[in-house]
Amino acid sequence: MSTPVASFRGLTKRFGELTAVEDVSFDVHPGRIVGLLGRNGAGKTTSLRMLLGLTRPTAGTATVFGRPYAELRRAAHRVGVSMDGVSPIPGTTGRRDLQVWAKMLGLPASRVDEVIELVDLGHGADRRIKGYSTGMKQRHALAAALLADPELLVLDEPTNGLDPDGIRWLRHFLRRFADEGRTVLLSSHILSEVQQTVDDVVIIQRTLRYSGPIAQLVPAGGGSLEDRFFELAGTDGGRHPAAPRTAAPTGGRDHA
């Protein structure tokens, strides 16, 4: 079994009397695309924020490469992040924003042109970000996350605002990224797209409902991820939770 890239152990977060995440444990293994699924308010973003040291857990731990994010050397080089709270510099163009981040990370200016080409943002790189469409903002955020050529990408709802061409492009891009031995942890609520993209699935509805390969959750000819999601998370917002299930990842891409 490979050493986890990210590990969640008994992770719990309470905001006053509200429990957002309760006793969640799962691992993210290298070379995998892992989909973190749940309804709005299920605890997906809160879990990612705890992993990245942006929110302090009430109990439990979340580590990256064996350490809390705040203790990880060169964390911004090893982990690329695209989520709310990691925002561009106000009033800048896409290119200028990336140039500032590249300088802060000690990267050559040529890397900015490389990531702009990687995410196909060349046509809008010299426009102000405030004028971008939602899809262009997603591509720019991905470019920023890729600047340091990270080992792990953490993406919160990366398909929001992308048109069908953009969603298809992102799917193939993430597959190539993982096939190079790197890792993607993404949250999403677009179940049909997740089914075509990920290797492993983590379903949370405040508590953990499933963690393991998608090929074991949805075998070939065995229905849809949407059906399995509602079986595990419930159809009424999770007031009647199903028992959690955990399956060990098989180590490589599962082809159903």
Q: Is the pLDDT of residue 237 over 70?
A: no
Type of residue found at 139: R
Q: What is the pLDDT of residue 1?
A: 59
Helix (H, G, I), strand (E, B) or coil at 23: strand
Which residue segments constitute the domains of the chain, with CATH numbers given?
A: 1-28+43-73 (3.40.50.300), 204-251 (no CATH)
For residue 67, the tally of other CB atoms under 10 A from its CB is: 11
Q: How many residues does the chain have?
A: 256
pTM here is 0.89
Mean pLDDT along residues 158-184: 93
Per residue in 10-36, pLDDT tens? 999 999 999 999 999 999 999 999 999
